[in-house]
C-alpha cells in the first residue's frame, strides 16, 4: 500500500471547500486538519504555515487487525500534484506520526520512504509489534514494547523508553548518523553500518554487538551492559572512540579483529604520513565504575594510547591494562603478555613520582618494546668512552686515533682494561692521570653497556616472540 492511493480520487473524497479553508489558514495563521479513514487507517493531514511556507504533516493511526502492515511512504511529484489540485499551493512535507491501537493483533509494521526523502520526520509512539523503518531524516520512537526493531538509513534516531527484553528480541540500527537511546531496556542491540555519533543514557543492555560499524564516537552514560562484543569495526578509519561515563560492562568485554589505537593518529592519516588506520578503536574511561569482570581478545593489535582515562581518575586505564595482561597470561600468549607488562610499567612511569629504574627502562628500550633505542644507546656510550679516553691521553691521543680499532673491544663487557694501556708503544707513554682514571671510567661504562645489551635482549625477545 502506498500513501498515494490514500488520496486518489477513485478511492476517497476530499472536502470540496479545502482550498477555501487553506486560504483562511494563510490569513489567520491557524492549522487546518483533513481527516480520512481508509482501509483500517485513520489519516489526518495537517496543513499549516511556517516561515511563509505551507507545511504538511501526516498522522496515521492503524486500528484494523492485520498480521503484517507494509506502509510505503512515497511523497513524489505525483503525490504533491494530487494535493496541490485541491489546495492550490506548493507545500513542504514536514513530519509523519504513526500510532497503533493496542487492541489490534498486528505483529509487524514495515515503513519505508521512497525517492530519498531526506526532510521527513517520523514519529512512532506506543507500539507493541515488530517494526522496520527504512529512510527519513529523523525517526523518533517512544514508549514502545517491540520484540524486534530494525532502523536503517536515518540521519537522526531518537529512542526513548524502548522495552525489548525477551531473549529473542533485537534492536538493529544500521547507517544512523546520530543516535540517542534513553531510559530503555534491551536484550540484544546490534550497531552496524556508518555511525557518526551514538549516545546511550540511563539504559540497560544485555548484549551489545558492535560489528562492521564505522563510527566517530559511541558514548555510554549511566548505562549498564552485561556483555559487549566489538568486532571488525571501523574499516574506513573513522575516529572510533568508545566512551564510558558512569557506566559498566558487568560481565564480558569481547574484542575481535580490531586495532586499539589512539585517535591522534588520524591527523597523520590525513597528511598521508600514517596510512594504516583501519579497524581503529579507542577506549575512554571516565571513572571507577567501569570494570569488566571478564575480557577476551582475538586478533587484536594494541597500542598504548588506544586506552585513555579521565585525568581525575587515571586508574581507569591501568585497571583495563591489568585485565588484559591477566587474560593473556592465562592463555600463555607470550607476545601480548609482555606488551601489557610494558604498558603497565609505562602507566606507572607517567602517573607516579619520579622513579629512576622506570625512567631508565623508558629511555633505554621503551619498557622492552624498542630495539632501536638500546642500539643507539650502545653507540652513544662507546663513542663517549672513546672520546673521554682520547682526551685523557693528552699528547699520546694520536695513537688511540690511529689504532681506533681498539675501541671495538668495548662491545665485549668482559674485555681487559689493560688493553687501553698496551695499545701505546714505547714512543709515547700516557700520563699518570690517564692510568689512574682508566679503571674507573672503563668499569662505569662497562656497567652501562651491559645494561644496554640486556635491554636490547629483552626487546629482541618481545620482537620475535621468545620466552
More confident residue, 427 or 453: 453
What whole-number distance in Å separates Cα of residue 128 and Cα of residue 240?
34
In-domain check, residue 194? no
Considering 118, 146, 174, which residue would you say is the last residue of a domain? 146
Share of the chain above pLDDT 70, in %: 80
Of the candidate ranges 251-255, 350-354, 427-431, the one whose mean pLDDT is the lowest:
350-354
pLDDT in tens, 299-341: 999 999 999 999 899 999 999 999 999 999 999 998 999 999 9
Run of H or E residues at 182? strand 170-182
In-domain check, residue 44? yes
In-domain check, residue 268? no
- Whether residue 225 is predicted with pLDDT greater than 50 in this model: the reply is yes
What pLDDT does residue 192 have? 94
What pLDDT does residue 296 have? 97
In-domain check, residue 56? yes
What pLDDT does residue 61 have? 74
Q: Taking residues 261-285, report their average pLDDT.
A: 62
pLDDT level of residue 429 (50, 70, 90 thresholds): confident
Q: Taking residues 184-199, report their average pLDDT.
A: 94
- Nearest to 96, CA basis, from 66, 59, 129: 59
In-domain check, residue 216? no
Considering 122, 146, 170, which residue would you say is the last residue of a domain? 146
Domain that residue 19 falls in: 1-146
pLDDT level of residue 59 (50, 70, 90 thresholds): confident
pLDDT level of residue 101 (50, 70, 90 thresholds): low
- Nearest to 363, CA basis, from 452, 443, 445: 452
Q: Taking residues 154-180, report their average pLDDT.
A: 93
Q: Taking residues 223-252, report their average pLDDT.
A: 92
Q: Which three cell numbers stand for residue 321?
A: 591494562
Residue with cell 505525483: 78
- Whether residue 185 is predicted with pLDDT greater than 90 in this model: the reply is yes
Cα–chain center distance at 143: 29
pLDDT in tens, 361-405: 999 999 999 999 999 999 999 999 999 999 999 889 999 999 999
More confident residue, 111 or 76: 111
In-domain check, residue 274? no
Of the candidate ranges 10-24, 273-287, 383-397, 416-430, the one whose mean pLDDT is the lowest:
10-24
What pLDDT does residue 79 have? 72
What pLDDT does residue 239 have? 85
What whole-number distance in Å separates Cα of residue 463 and Cα of residue 335?
8
- Whether residue 1 is predicted with pLDDT greater than 50 in this model: the reply is no
- Whether residue 19 is predicted with pLDDT greater than 70 in this model: the reply is no
More confident residue, 10 or 351: 351
Q: What 8-state DSSP symbol labels residue 67?
A: S
Enumerate residues 6+ apart whose C-beta is below 8 A from 283. 241, 242, 244, 260, 306, 307, 308, 320
What whole-number distance in Å separates Cα of residue 266 and Cα of residue 284?
16
pLDDT level of residue 11 (50, 70, 90 thresholds): very low
Mean pLDDT of all residues in the chain? 83
In-domain check, residue 183? no
Considering 114, 129, 146, which residue would you say is the last residue of a domain? 146
Domain count, the chain: 2
- Nearest to 181, CA basis, from 147, 213, 149, 134: 149
In-domain check, residue 295? no
Amino acid at each position: 500500500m502506498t500513501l498515494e492511493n490514500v488520496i486518489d480520487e477513485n478511492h476517497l473524497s476530499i472536502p470540496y471547500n479545502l482550498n477555501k479553508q487553506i486560504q483562511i489558514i494563510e490569513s489567520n495563521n491557524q492549522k487546518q486538519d483533513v481527516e480520512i479513514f481508509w482501509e483500517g487507517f485513520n489519516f489526518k493531514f495537517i496543513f499549516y504555515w511556517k516561515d511563509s511556507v505551507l507545511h504538511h504533516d501526516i498522522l496515521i493511526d492503524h486500528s484494523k487487525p492485520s498480521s503484517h502492515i507494509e506502509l510505503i511512504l512515497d511523497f513524489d511529484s505525483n503525490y504533491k500534484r494530487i494535493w496541490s489540485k485541491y489546495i492550490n499551493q506548493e507545500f513542504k512535507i514536514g513530519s509523519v506520526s504513526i500510532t497503533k491501537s493496542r487492541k489490534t493483533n498486528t505483529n509487524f509494521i514495515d515503513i519505508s520512504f521512497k525517492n530519498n526523502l531526506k526532510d521527513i520526520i517520523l514519529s512512532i509512539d506506543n507500539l507493541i509489534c515488530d517494526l522496520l523503518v527504512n529512510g527519513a531524516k529523523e525517526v523518533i520512537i517512544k514508549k514502545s514494547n517491540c520484540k524486534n526493531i530494525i532502523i536503517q538509513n536515518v540521519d537522526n534516531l531518537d529512542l526513548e523508553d524502548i522495552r525489548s527484553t525477551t531473549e529473542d528480541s533485537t534492536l538493529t540500527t544500521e547507517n544512523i548518523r546520530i543516535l540517542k537511546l534513553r531510559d530503555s531496556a534491551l536484550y540484544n542491540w546490534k550497531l552496524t553500518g556508518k555511525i557518526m555519533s551514538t549516545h546511550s543514557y540511563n539504559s540497560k543492555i544485555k548484549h551489545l554487538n558492535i560489528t562492521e560499524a564505522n563510527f566517530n564516537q559511541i558514548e555510554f552514560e549511566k548505562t549498564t551492559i552485561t556483555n559487549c562484543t566489538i568486532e571488525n569495526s571501523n574499516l574506513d578509519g573513522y575516529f572510533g572512540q568508545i566512551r564510558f561515563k558512569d557506566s559498566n560492562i558487568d560481565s564480558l568485554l569481547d574484542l575481535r579483529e580490531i586495532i586499539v589505537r589512539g585517535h591522534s593518529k588520524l591527523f597523520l592519516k590525513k597528511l598521508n604520513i600514517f596510512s594504516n588506520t583501519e579497524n581503529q578503536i579507542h577506549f575512554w574511561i571516565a571513572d571507577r565504575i567501569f570494570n569488566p569482570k571478564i575480557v577476551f581478545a582475538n586478533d587484536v593489535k594494541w597500542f598504548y594510547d588506544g586506552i585513555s582515562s579521565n585525568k581525575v581518575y587515571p586508574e581507569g586505564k591501568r585497571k583495563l591494562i591489568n585485565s588484559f595482561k591477566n587474560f593473556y597470561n592465562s592463555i600463555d600468549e607470550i607476545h601480548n603478555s609482555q606488551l601489557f607488562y610494558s604498558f603497565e610499567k609505562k602507566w606507572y612511569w607517567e602517573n607516579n613520582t619520579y622513579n629512576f629504574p622506570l625512567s631508565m627502562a623508558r629511555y633505554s628500550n621503551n619498557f622492552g618494546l624498542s630495539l632501536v633505542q638500546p642500539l643507539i644507546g650502545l653507540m652513544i656510550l662507546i663513542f663517549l668512552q672513546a672520546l673521554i679516553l682520547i682526551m685523557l691521553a693528552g699528547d699520546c691521543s694520536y695513537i688511540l686515533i690511529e689504532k681506533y680499532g681498539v675501541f671495538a673491544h668495548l662491545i665485549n663487557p668482559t674485555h681487559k682494561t689493560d688493553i687501553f694501556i698496551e695499545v701505546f708503544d714505547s714512543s709515547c707513554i700516557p700520563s699518570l692521570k690517564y692510568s689512574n682514571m682508566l679503571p674507573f671510567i672503563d668499569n662505569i661504562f662497562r656497567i652501562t653497556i651491559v645494561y644496554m645489551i640486556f635491554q636490547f635482549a629483552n626487546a629482541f625477545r618481545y620482537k620475535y616472540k621468545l620466552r
